A and B are shown apart, each in its own frame.
Chain A
Amino acid sequence: MEKKKEETKRFNESGIEIKPLYTNEDIKNLDPLRDIGEAGNYPYTRGIHRTMYRDRLWTMRQYSGFGTPKDSNRRYKYLLEQGQTGLSVALDLPTQMGLDPDDLMSLGEVGRVGVSLSTLKDMETLFDGLPLDKVTTSFTINATASMLLAMYLCVAEKQRVPFEKVGGTIQNDILKEYVARGAWIYPPEFSMRLIADTIEYCAKYVPRFNSISIAGAHFRDAGSTAVQEAAFTLADAIEYVRAVLERGMDIDDFASQLSFFFYTHNNFFEEVAKYRAMRKLWSRIMKEKFKAKNPRSLVFRFGVVCGGSTLFPQQHEINTIRVSYQALASVLGGVQSMFTCAMDEPFSIPTEETARLSLRIQQVLGLETGVADTSDPLGGSYFVESLTKEMENKIEELIEKVETRGGMIKSIKDGFVQKEILEEAYKKERKINSGEMAVVGVNRFTIDEEEKELRLHEYNPQVAKDQIELLNQIRRTRDKEKVRKHIDQLRKIAKNGGNLMPYLIDAFKDYVSLGEVCQVFKEEYGTFQQPTVI
């Protein structure tokens, strides 16, 4: 009987077999120096710094935003007071889609899932009392990333903060939008041009700013495995690097400003191994494929979100537990910045209270558990080193497959990536429905839940009216002649070539609106035609 139990095979979500016991036999072929290395040294498997969190914990950066800029400004100040160490701005869907609040398609969405930003006035209000040389800001913005960065730099100028001191991130990763998140506007060619413009501009003028956060997170939340998440992200990164190199830039000019973003899901050691494997793979890609020389170009820096599709509405308090384990895995994986979801995430964006508790997860982790006292505590583990190598092999194999069939852009246009992810999403849904994949509170240990009277964040429809009113006021009072000139200039540069960033900055300075800018590019380049084959 005992023997039979041991013989049942077990696999992690990426399909790698997990044995009952790992020993030295499993890692004897790994060369400690070549295959693993030391923290802070190539190939960075163990971490990007020798001392990792001892001098400074990872950045606690809670994704947040809703309503008017004033509403969000208040929440940001609250979160900073509560101890978070960086800002992470959630934009509403109209802002993400380049639409002003009065656009017909903006109906019902102004200030709902994030803050509404339409003109520079909004960005100024959002950062009122938040000095840009004292705080770093991450914007989860993609199709309109260049525009929001331009607005942010206008604020820096108004605050008299030199661009060299401005720190933060724009997600700016359109490829994953086409696949898994849907906040795209333009076709790939123009979108890639906007991205390359921002990377080029930041390399020259905003050196502390991460000009892109290449994201796997959304593939994951769309149902991909950890291996797919990693491989598709690195393959995306290869496309972005190629696009910038095509402009004649040197790899070492901009590589240190590339960053990454992932989900940490539930399979603990798979997540740790995933991050360790990616650090190693990226440094090898940079060194071997792109011939980067500067050590700062080889370093894989990433942020994570814990929660998302791993959270469920049933017995929702359990979500805090799930997120806590995921946060621990992220730290043991060597993350640079983290967002921990709140327990009411399956219902709504968080209230002050639930947002506060989710921040406490990171604070307890960093200050009470001691896991931040040493770098890569799991290094040397028979299991973790063996799993890291296996994950590395599988990720590399999938990157190769994508590259061989023509790269990510091609594989997105022809629906390959979407299909691969949907397969996994469908399989997983069936497994949860059948109970094969255990989810506590959902298909195990369910309780008869009374109609819960949850206090949830509520959408305020007045926000739309207020934002439209403000926009109308700005349109009445701004210099209309200047606005017209900016629109013409943007159209000219968009058509004939040149880096759009300086022109965007100038346009927003004179209160051209986001919708007005985006409309110009839509007229010149059209919108993406989505594949609808399932």
Chain B
Amino acid sequence: MINAERRIRFLIASPGLDGHDRGAKVVARALRDAGMEVIYLGIHRTAEEIVKSAIQEGVDFIGLSMLSGAHLILTENILEKIKEEKIDDIPLVVGGTIPKKDIKILKEMGVGLVFPTQSPLDTITTAIKEYRSSRKS
């Protein structure tokens, strides 16, 4: 029999200069309460730091929290680094002040899941679990 479902390892970081972390921390708590292991990197993280940590920690997801409006340019930056380090199999999850019209753009860039502010916590945890299941099958 295949190994029992092991816990999802989820990295959360705020890239760039914005320092507001309420959303990132609240989501981190929710993921933890839903049985996931959360690696929280904090704010002002560079693309290098995020990707390096993702590799070191063997995470299943990389979560970014962005609230200043610079999400398109910052996500692009990180996706470049992810490609460079050849970890494109780790899905990118983006949350924050994301206008509806940017969700499609982010998905087209290669982001796996997008959670604008106001996404209910249970919606987030369920979507992540389902995403993982669907990718396994």
Interface residues of A (CB under 8 A from B): 93-94, 96-97, 99, 105-109, 112-113, 177, 180-184, 221-223, 309, 312-314, 346-348, 422, 425-426, 429-430, 433, 442, 451, 459, 530, 532-534
Contact = CB atoms under 8 A, between A and B. Distances in A.
Contacts of B7: none
Contact of A534 (B18, B25, B97, B99): B25
Contacts of A106: 17
Contact of B19 (A182, A313, A426): A182
Interface in B74-106: 74, 77, 97, 99-100
B69 A107 contact: no
B35 to A, nearest CB: 15
Interface size class of B (residues with CB under 8 A): 35 or more
B114 interface: no
Contacts of A108: 16, 70, 72-74
B20 interface: yes
Interface in B16-57: 16-22, 25-26, 28-30, 32, 38, 40-44, 46
A222 B21 CA distance: 8
B99 A347 contact: yes
B122 interface: yes
A442 B117 CA distance: 12
A530 B16 contact: no
Contacts of A313: 117-118
A433 B21 CA distance: 19
Nearest to A454: B99
B19 A425 contact: no
A534 B97 CA distance: 22
B68 interface: yes
Given A312-B118, A348-B69, 4 more contacts: A94-B17, A97-B17, A105-B17, A346-B117
A422 B26 contact: yes
Contacts, number: 96
A182 B44 contact: yes
A168 B15 CA distance: 33
Contact of A182 (B21, B41, B70, B117): B21
A113 B20 contact: no
Given A182-B44, A534-B32, A425 B70 contact: no
Contacts of A107: 16, 70, 73-74, 77
A425 B69 contact: no
Nearest to B14: A182
B128 interface: no
Nearest to A423: B29
Given A181-B19, A422-B29, A532 B68 contact: no
Contacts of A314: 118
Given A312-B118, A346-B117, A426 B16 contact: no
A348 B74 CA distance: 18
Q: Which 4 A-B pairs have the closest CB atoms?
A: A182-B19, A108-B70, A108-B73, A93-B17
A314 B16 CA distance: 28
B38 to A, nearest CB: 7
A184 B18 CA distance: 11
Contact of A222 (B17, B22, B43, B117): B22
A534 B69 contact: no
Given A113-B68, A182-B44, A534-B38, A221 B17 contact: no
B59 interface: no
Given A97-B17, A105-B17, A347-B99, A112 B118 contact: no
B16 A109 contact: yes
A180 B21 CA distance: 7
B121 A429 contact: yes
B25 A109 contact: no
A113 B38 CA distance: 30
A109 B117 CA distance: 20
A18 to B, nearest CB: 26
Most buried by A among B29, B44, B122: B44
Nearest to B13: A532
B69 A112 contact: yes
Contacts of B16: 93, 105, 107-109
A315 to B, nearest CB: 12
A105 B18 CA distance: 11
Contacts of B43: 182, 530
Contacts of A109: 16-17, 68, 70
B90 to A, nearest CB: 20
Contacts of A177: 19
A426 B29 contact: yes
Contacts of B32: 534
Contacts of A451: 100
13 contacts: A109-B68, A182-B14, A182-B19, A222-B22, A313-B117, A346-B117, A347-B99, A422-B26, A425-B25, A426-B26, A429-B26, A459-B69, A534-B25
A107 B68 CA distance: 12
A433 B122 contact: yes
B120 A433 contact: yes
A310 to B, nearest CB: 13
Nearest to A312: B118
A422 B33 CA distance: 14
Contacts of A221: 22
A314 B99 CA distance: 12
A79 B31 CA distance: 44
Nearest to A429: B26
A182 B120 contact: no
Contacts of B40: 532-534
A450 B44 CA distance: 36
Given A93-B68, A532-B40, A182 B25 contact: no
A112 B19 contact: no
